[in-house]
């Protein structure tokens, strides 16, 4: 993702350094497990743990020749370990390393998103309580309907964010899986105890039945959840955009000293945070659709999913994190104008109470049609 929409906490999770570090952990834990089973010398494992280093530049340099990311990674690591490195990756396939490392990254990313969503929920809850008695015009189809309170409007946002939080927790559980089952998932050259050991060390669960990869329906849940979250944030942002219209001005984004709204019209104060969130939500929905396409692969695996995931996994996570922080900033500094809310209600006089009058007339005996 471009730096403009990237925060350091999430960027660190999806950095090459973190990815290769987790891949190395998978390899080391697998060697440890095999050592306990007596298939790898304990001394070799100790040497690997002591000497193994990650050099991203060297890995990338090797890949220019071999055209394979995991082979490049292993070659670079073995250069640092010496002969002991021959005990790495025994009986394993590339996806054992990649998918298990990705599961750990996804667990980290989902955890960070959960933390930021909780912070946002606290902010929204505070707004709902603050304005629980502030009357505002309820609108349907963009037209004045009946009075409500601004706090009630905000409470609806809160409930939706809590549902997003529930979905994020479910997504975290769904993606927190690894696999060390070999080329087509048969464990032909592996003891199942290796998978259990590695996954436990990585903070993951072993995939129930894997192919060469972890089935991509798990990943699709993660992307779908981010799309839901993005749409929930977009709903709030869309409302604020409407409320900030010149002819409405019931609420307004924070506008800091020195901020400019237009190069041509100096008077402008535009809802740029909300518009930014609305645009990024579209990307998240697009990623969710692509994630669905990645579920159906050929037989036990092809790599048609790989190219999309290299982009989508970091980008969707980084965008979602950025949107949450932007919304926190927006709502923490939201300007609310109760006097304008009252003035807008007054514009339609007492017509907004037509529903109450209708019920009163029916109660007195008039037909609903005549009333």
Contact between residue 164 and residue 117 where contact means Cβ atoms under 8 Å apart? yes
> Look-up: residue for tokens 């609108």?
139
- Residue 41: how many CA atoms within 13 Å on its side-chain side? 9
Q: Quick one: tokens of 43?
A: 């001394």
Quick: pLDDT tens for 9-30: 999 999 999 999 999 999 999 9
Read off the pLDDT band of 264 (50, 70, 90): low
Q: Write down the pLDDT at residue 259.
A: 64
Q: Write down the pLDDT at residue 317.
A: 99
Read off the pLDDT band of 217 (50, 70, 90): very high
- What integer is the mean pLDDT of 61-73? 97
Q: Which SS3 state, helix, strand or coil, does residue 252 take? A: strand
Query: What percent of the chain has pLDDT above 90?
Result: 88
Contact between residue 55 and residue 90 where contact means Cβ atoms under 8 Å apart? no
Q: Write down the pLDDT at residue 4.
A: 94
Q: Write down the pLDDT at residue 269.
A: 80
Return the active site residues: 141, 262
Distance (Å, whole) CA 138 – CA 150: 9
Residue 267 pLDDT exceeds 70:
no
Distance (Å, whole) CA 160 – CA 181: 39
Q: Write down the pLDDT at residue 357.
A: 80
Residue 352 pLDDT exceeds 90:
no
Tell me 369's DSSP state: T
Strands (E), 231-359: 251-252, 335-336
Phi-psi map region of 187: left, alpha, beta (phi>0 left; psi -120 to 50 alpha): left
Q: Pick 355 or 237 by higher pLDDT.
A: 237
Quick: pLDDT tens for 101-111: 999 999 999 99
Tell me 78's DSSP state: H
Q: Write down the pLDDT at residue 156.
A: 98
Q: What residues pair up with 252 in beta bridges, in sequence order?
A: 335
Lowest-confidence region among 191-200, 225-234, 346-355: 346-355
Read off the pLDDT band of 359 (50, 70, 90): confident
Domains and CATH numbers, the chain: 3-251+269-336 (1.20.200.10)
Q: Write down the pLDDT at residue 265.
A: 60
Quick: pLDDT tens for 281-296: 999 999 999 999 999 9
Residue 195 pLDDT exceeds 90:
yes
Residue 242 pLDDT exceeds 70:
yes
For 20, the enclosing helix (H) or strand (E) is helix 16-37
Q: For the chain, what is the mean pLDDT?
A: 95
- Residue 173: how many CA atoms within 13 Å on its side-chain side? 5
């Amino acid at each position: 993702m471009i730096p403009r929409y990237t925060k350091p906490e999430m960027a660190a999770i999806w950095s090459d350094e973190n990815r290769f570090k987790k891949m190395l952990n998978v390899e080391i834990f697998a060697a440890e497990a095999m050592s306990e089973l007596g298939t790898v010398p304990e001394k070799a494992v100790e040497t690997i743990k002591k000497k193994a280093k990650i050099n991203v530049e060297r890995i990338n340099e090797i890949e220019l020749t071999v055209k394979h990311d995991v082979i490049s990674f292993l070659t670079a690591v073995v250069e640092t370990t010496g002969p002991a490195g021959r005990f790495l990756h025994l009986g394993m396939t590339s996806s054992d390393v990649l998918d298990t490392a990705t599961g750990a990254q996804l667990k980290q990313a989902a955890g960070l998103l959960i933390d930021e969503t909780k912070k946002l929920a606290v902010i929204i809850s505070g707004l709902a309580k603050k304005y629980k008695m502030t009357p505002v015009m309820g609108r349907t189809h963009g037209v004045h309907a009946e009075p409500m309170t601004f706090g009630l409007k905000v409470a609806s946002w809160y409930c939706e964010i809590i549902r997003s939080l529930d979905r994020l927790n479910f997504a975290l559980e769904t993606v927190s899986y690894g696999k060390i089952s070999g080329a087509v998932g048969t464990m032909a050259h592996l003891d199942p105890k290796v998978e259990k050991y590695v996954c436990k060390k990585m903070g993951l669960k072993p995939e129930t039945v894997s192919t060469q990869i972890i089935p991509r329906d798990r990943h699709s849940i993660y992307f779908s959840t981010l799309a839901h979250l993005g749409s929930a944030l977009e709903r709030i942002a869309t409302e604020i955009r409407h409320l900030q219209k010149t002819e409405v001005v019931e609420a307004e984004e924070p506008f800091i000293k020195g901020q400019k709204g237009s190069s041509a019209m100096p008077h402008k104060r535009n809802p740029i945070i909300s518009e930014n969130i609305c645009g990024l939500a579209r990307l998240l929905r697009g990623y969710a659709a692509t994630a669905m396409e990645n579920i159906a692969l050929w037989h036990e695996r092809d790599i048609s999913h790989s190219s999309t995931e290299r982009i989508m996994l970091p980008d969707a996570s980084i965008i979602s994190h950025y949107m949450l922080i932007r919304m926190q900033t927006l709502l923490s500094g939201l300007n609310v104008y109760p006097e304008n809310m009252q003035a807008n209600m007054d514009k339609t006089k007492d017509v907004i109470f037509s529903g109450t009058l209708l019920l009163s007339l029916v109660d007195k005996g008039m037909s609903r049609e005549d009333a």
